[in-house]
């Protein structure tokens, strides 16, 4: 191999390494969330399924008119999920129980280490100091990887738009309220005080305090305290969370920790491969020059690296 070719290979390899450097993931240890982050505690034992939070959200976020009015109880027949037209929905569970049905409000849970944020290749998502996970729809390409990644199936996509479809989800009323220290519209409207707005750290204390004071009323778990690294929305429930449609199989590690195995491998490949394969090439070259009559067929090398 000519020296010039070798230098060229090195140069190209080096450029690729430099290029790939930017791909390294932020391998943060364990991020507990911003200290001043706000949150909402949902006490499902208090919720009566009036759906006024849905109506308030619709008005606050200027969402399109729903298909049926917010008084229509027929929507409880099926489980719903947040969409681009409704950032929050209320579902009914435990219909047949003598203690009466349990309602659960669903929306973006505003994770401390959001999967959507870490999966977005244009960095459209931001976790603000106030705890909200907001997004910049001006850069959204529409790959919908965040929807794949979200463990709570929160982001919706407005597939109907041909010219400007973007991902849409609850932003904790960041632009209009949270930024100014005011609670989100859904919390403010709730007639049952099922939703409590406050600092996330305080809400966790409050939730455990309620469980301690009335242990018969709740199962001893605050959903969202630890799930996928903790979320800004926290839930209390009278029955097992799995019965209310919560995913109880989620790990306490943030989603990104699953990806770190791969991200850690990237710099290794970038730095080792060029030398390894240029080296193999040199070895093969020498062999060719050394023994001219070598039989290539007996040397059935696997073509994979």
**Site for another protein, residues 216 to 275, rule: CB under 8 A:** 247, 249-251, 255-256, 258-259, 261-263, 265-266, 269-270, 273-274
Figure out which of the listed residues 30, 69, 153, 252 binds another protein, where binding follows CB under 8 A: 153
* Bridge partners, residue 90, by sequence: 105
Task: Name the residue among 221, 268, 271, 280 with its Cα closest to residue 246.
Answer: 221
| DSSP-derived secondary structure for 82-109 | --SS-S-EEEEE-TT-TT--EEEEE---
How many residues sit in the footprint of another protein (CB under 8 A)?
82
> How is residue 265 written in tokens?
């491998």
Contact between 157 and another protein by CB under 8 A: the answer reads yes
**C-beta of 32 vs 277, nearer to another protein:** 277
Question: What is the spatial distance between Cα 146 and Cα 115, in angstroms, rounded to a whole number?
Answer: 7
Interface characters, 46-75, with another protein (x: CB under 8 A): ------------------------------
Contact between 302 and another protein by CB under 8 A: the answer reads yes
Give the pairing type, strands 233-236 and 38-43: parallel
Contact partners, residue 188, CB within 8 Å, separation at least 6? 56, 182
Contact between 30 and another protein by CB under 8 A: the answer reads no
Site for another protein in 80-109 (CB under 8 A): 81, 83-84
Contact, 195 vs 42, CB < 8 A? Answer: yes
**C-beta of 146 vs 189, nearer to another protein:** 146
Q: How far is the CB of 128 from another protein (least distance, A)?
A: 17
Q: Which residue's structure tokens are 């009278």?
A: 238
**C-beta of 216 vs 261, nearer to another protein:** 261
Site for another protein in 167-206 (CB under 8 A): none
> How is residue 85 written in tokens?
């037209």
**C-beta of 293 vs 305, nearer to another protein:** 305
Contact, 194 vs 46, CB < 8 A? Answer: yes
Q: How far is the CB of 6 from another protein (least distance, A)?
A: 8
Contact between 18 and another protein by CB under 8 A: the answer reads no
| Cα–Cα–Cα angle for 267, 304, 3, rounded to 5 degrees | 65
Contact between 166 and another protein by CB under 8 A: the answer reads yes
């Amino acid at each position: 191999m000519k020296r010039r070719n070798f230098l060229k290979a090195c140069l190209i390899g080096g450029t690729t390494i430099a290029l790939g450097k930017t791909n390294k993931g932020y391998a943060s240890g364990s991020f507990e969330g911003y200290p001043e982050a706000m949150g909402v505690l949902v006490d499902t034992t208090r919720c009566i399924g009036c759906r006024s939070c849905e109506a308030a959200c619709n008005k606050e976020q200027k969402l399109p008119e729903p298909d049926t009015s917010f008084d229509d109880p027929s929507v409880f027949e099926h489980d719903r999920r947040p969409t681009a037209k409704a950032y929050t929905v209320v579902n009914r569970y435990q219909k047949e129980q003598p203690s009466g049905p349990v309602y659960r409000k669903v929306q973006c849970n505003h994770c401390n280490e959001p999967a959507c944020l870490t999966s977005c290749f244009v960095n459209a998502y931001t976790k603000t100091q106030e705890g909200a996970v907001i997004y910049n729809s001006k850069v959204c390409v529409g790959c919908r990887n965040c929807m794949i990644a979200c463990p709570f199936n929160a982001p919706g996509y407005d597939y109907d738009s041909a010219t400007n479809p973007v991902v849409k989800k609850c932003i904790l009323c960041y632009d209009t309220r949270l930024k100014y220290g005011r609670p989100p519209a859904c919390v403010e409207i709730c007639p049952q005080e099922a939703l409590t707005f406050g600092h996330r750290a305080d809400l966790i204390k409050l939730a455990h305090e309620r469980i301690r004071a009335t242990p018969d009323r709740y199962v001893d778990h605050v959903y969202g305290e630890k799930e996928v690294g903790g979320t800004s929305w926290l839930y209390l429930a009278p029955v097992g969370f799995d019965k209310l449609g919560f995913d109880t199989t989620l790990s306490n590690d943030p989603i990104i920790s699953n990806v770190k195995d791969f991200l850690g491998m990237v710099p290794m490949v970038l730095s080792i491969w060029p030398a390894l394969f240029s080296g193999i090439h040199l070895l093969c070259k020498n062999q060719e020059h050394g023994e001219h009559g070598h039989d290539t067929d007996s040397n059935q090398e696997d073509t994979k690296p």
